[in-house]
Structure 1
């Protein structure tokens, strides 16, 4: 058989020529995983976010089947997905598709003749790996949005109730003479900033004080005219995306909130020269988990539905910008979405807003006949 090309991850580069392994099956399997790792690294894919989870999944699948890749057949992957669905009630369609895609990619790698793994397996084991995932046994993508339906925008009343509850926690802690009032003040400002700028968790917790920007077109906001996001959601193989999120007039109350937090609250954490905006009692950067806990505590205090999560504030921001009649492109840029269709998925405008639009159109179409009811 022809020798494989000298590509990153090629079999002849992973296995030592002329060496007879005492236990060849696991040795070849580990060499495959090492080769796949090199192949992905050569594409500048992220280790923690992409490569490591993929390797872990392949190992889990191999353990489930008690077989090696050159023995796998479509029936094994079908049984694996069925097992995960039965074992984990929260196993979603999108999760299933992700697992299938990762296993498909691994099979594509070991069945690609350029990497030489089929030659190795044929010579050593008398079997060759095959692609086990096809159109007929994988999840079909029929909907634009398959996420959790509980991720909905909050109503204006729910937003107000959430913020009132977050502020109320500060007074409640003080009255009880307990520790934590300072952290509660930080959490209140944090949740308000999440909504006022529509950021993702990672984007917000990685904000530094230096990321606060002035907007020459809105000098009245001082250093809070915009926020420079440096850790936006990245595409696979690319660094985090960057964008500037402007402070909008309808949410300019955030200027006073941030100013109070930065001048009165944050210094009391003893952060010193730490660059982060959101800091902990131990003068470190706040974690995404702590941000989730801040939302959950306020949501519970406000007696809002349990299924609501922190990301709902981002949905709320995008929806409310639309309801404030900002152009679609502006909303898309503020949110950091590459495609307008993604922004549309986040949008869930209220019946009141749609009725206002309908009323406006009817009044314009039938002037003097149809009047706005007061």
Structure 2
């Protein structure tokens, strides 16, 4: 079985540091078990990092952990000048709980191996009374909000100004600046997450027969949507809704992308080193532009996705259409993303009140209904 003690610790091999080696073998076995479930390497590494941090906090190894260790660790995560967010703490606790479940599963043999080597065995240290549960649909900080239309335009203008300045100054990095300016516009134009936009290729854009005026960029086929419960990345087709999207992409693809001269000519956002731009790079570039504009420092690229949802709702698009565009399974999630402006809410209220309390045109002057002949 993937991750079993038998496959990782041959009986005829002696080690110099048996305790530390046992812990490393446990983590390697757990990684193998998760890989056989087709979990993302990113997820596996993140979980291993959380478990190693917990072990470092406890200064003990898994067969010595107790439930009290989890409670003290959580208290430490909540303390200090920058306490961890509830979602982060829940993720850390979940990683430790999954690791302990793996170790205590008799099919993998770790409990018996620890009992033979150290006279004790690992137990499940996370339970319903010392771990956080997910009771809220939305745990984001309230200051993380959609950008207004003026803020979105200011961001795009600033990015374009950076390109123009570098280009007229004949600076070497203007192509990267042009790439980044286009990338941010694509995030907003299709409501994409960072990984979704970073993994786009040229062939992910196709025509939409229903809207031929958008040309080759009528549909964006997202292949790296957010996965759930260890599944493969979910796919969705996002139709183009803004008429400026096609010309923006066409200019970049025709005039700028060939200048990178990458071996993989399908890659949409290459770097000078022939690799794709990363999510962390997108975040740092966004932060640079955000700070230059004096926007709230808590804003990040995902706010452009929130802005996309908000502005489509304000423009009268059907909520189900918006939900399908951004790939949400539930309409309630899309509603949480929506931060409609006060003007929009007031106009909706005004229309509703007018329809409810304005007399029909056919009513007589005294308020009675007219008689039909």
Answer yes or no: same fold by TM over 0.5: yes
Aligned to 1:323, which of 290, 314, 325?
A: 314
- Residues 75-84 or 176-185, more deviating: 176-185
8 A Cα contact 1:121 1:127, kept in partner: yes
CA separation of 1:315 and 1:123: change in aligned 2, threshold 3 A? same
CA contact (8 A) 2:194 2:282 kept: yes
Partner Cα separation in structure 2 for residue 111 and residue 236 of structure 1? 21
CA distance in 2, matches of 1:70, 1:341: 42
State which of 134, 137, 158 in structure 2 corresponds to 1:141: 134
Return the alpha-carbon distance in structure 2 between the equivalents of residues 125 and 282 of structure 1: 49
Equivalent of 2:355 in 352, 358, 364: 364
Contact 1:195 1:314 in 2 (8 A): yes
Deviating more after overlay: 153-162 vs 119-128:
119-128
Deviates most, 339-348 or 216-225: 339-348
**Does structure 2 conserve the Cα–Cα contact (< 8 Å) formed by 1:199 and 1:335?**
yes
Q: 2:343 is matched with which residue: 352, 356, 373?
A: 352
Between the aligned partners of 2:124 and 2:260, the Cα distance in structure 1 is: 55
- CA distance in structure 1 between the aligned counterparts of 2:235 and 2:250, rounded to whole angstroms: 24
**Cα offset, 1:335, TM superposition:** 0.4
**1:278-302: per-residue Cα shift (whole Å, max 9, x none)?**
2334554333333234323332343
Note if contact 1:195-1:313 (Cα within 8 Å) is conserved in structure 2: yes
Contact map agreement 2:167 2:174 (CA 8 A) in 1: yes
Q: 2:254 aligns with which of 224, 247, 263?
A: 263
Report the RMSD for the aligned CA atoms in angstroms. Answer: 2.5
Aligned to 1:41: 35
Larger mean Cα displacement after TM superposition, 34-43 or 254-263: 34-43
Q: Distance in 2 between matches of 1:131 and 1:272?
A: 49
Counterpart in the other structure of 2:25: 31
* Residues 1:72 and 1:343: Cα distance change in structure 2 (over 3 Å): same
Query: Is the 1:274–1:283 Cα contact (8 Å) retained in structure 2?
Result: no
Counterparts of residues 147-162 of structure 1 (less than 5 Å): 147-162=140-155
Query: Is this contact kept in 2: 1:211–1:228, CA < 8 A?
Result: yes
Instruction: Check conservation: 2:77, 2:83, Cα contact below 8 A.
Output: no
1:18 and 1:256 mapped to 2: Cα distance? Answer: 67
TM-score for the superposition, normalised by structure 1: 0.87
Residues 88 and 38 from structure 1, CA distance in 2 versus in 1: closer, same or farther, beyond 3 angstroms? Answer: farther
Matched pairs, number: 361
Match of 2:67 in 1: 74
Distance 2:81 2:93 in 1: 16
User: Taking structure 1 as reference, are residues 54 and 364 closer, same or farther at Cα in structure 2, changes over 3 Å only?
Assistant: same
Indicate the residue corresponding to 2:182 in structure 1.
189
SS of equivalent to 1:227: strand
Secondary structure at the residue paired with 1:245?
A: strand
Q: What's the TM-score once normalised by structure 2's chain length?
A: 0.87
* Distance (Å, rounded) in 1 between the aligned partners of 2:58 and 2:345: 53
Out of 297, 301, 316, the residue aligned to residue 306 of structure 1 is 297
Unmatched 5+ stretches in structure 1:
1-6
Matches within 5 A, 1:1-374: 7-17=1-11, 23-46=17-40, 48-86=41-79, 89-174=82-167, 176=169, 178-248=171-241, 251-271=242-262, 274-282=265-273, 284-368=275-359
Report deviation, 1:17: 4.0
Q: Is the deviation greater in 14-23 or in 324-333?
A: 14-23
Q: Give the match for residue 4 of structure 1.
A: none
Query: 2:169 and 2:105 mapped to 1: Cα distance?
Result: 66
Residues 74/337 of structure 1: CA separation in 2 closer, same or farther (3 Å cut) = same
CA gap 1:60/1:298 in 2 versus in 1, 3 angstroms:
closer
